Amino acid sequence: MDRSHYIEVVNRHLSQIKPSVKIDSNSKIINEKIFELLNAINPLSGRSRLQEAFDRASAIYDTKLLANVPFEESVTTVHLLLKSIANLRTTKEQRKTVTGKK
């Protein structure tokens, strides 16, 4: 996807969650309402949206790393930053800690 379409796609997804929340295409400022949505519980899964995003980013990164192409388009290491500053762990890592199983 071309970068010029990001705001449109993000706003389309945001409107499915809460129609009144949008990113302004001119300023690209992430406002408090967007952070509230990101920090909320996803009613469909019952899980934190932040945790879901962290799990997805980690899985994509691990998949690309195993394929020996970790820095291709659509792959970031932001989840590693979050892991270090917010003490986030993937859901799989959390289960291992609790159960002792992989």
Same domain, 18 and 55: no
Q: What is the dihedral of CA 45, 48, 53, 57, to 10 degrees?
A: -100
Domain that holds residue 84: 48-99
Q: Which of 36, 43, 6, 41 is nearest to 21 (CA)?
A: 36
Give residue 95's pLDDT. 66
Chain-centre distance for alpha carbon 57: 6
For the stretch 8-65, pLDDT in tens is: 888 898 888 888 888 887 776 778 888 888 889 999 999 988 889 889 888 888 888 7
- The pTM for the full model equals 0.64
Angle between helix 78-86 and helix 49-66 axes, rounded to 10 deg: 130
Longest dimension (CA), the chain: 48
Residues 33 and 66 in one domain: no
According to the model, what pLDDT value does residue 97 have?
Answer: 63
Cα–Cα distance for residue pair 40/85, rounded to 1 Å = 19
Are residues 32 and 74 part of one domain?
no
SS3 content of the chain, % helix, strand, coil (to 5): 60, 5, 40
- Output the pLDDT for position 68: 74
* Total structural domains within the chain: 2
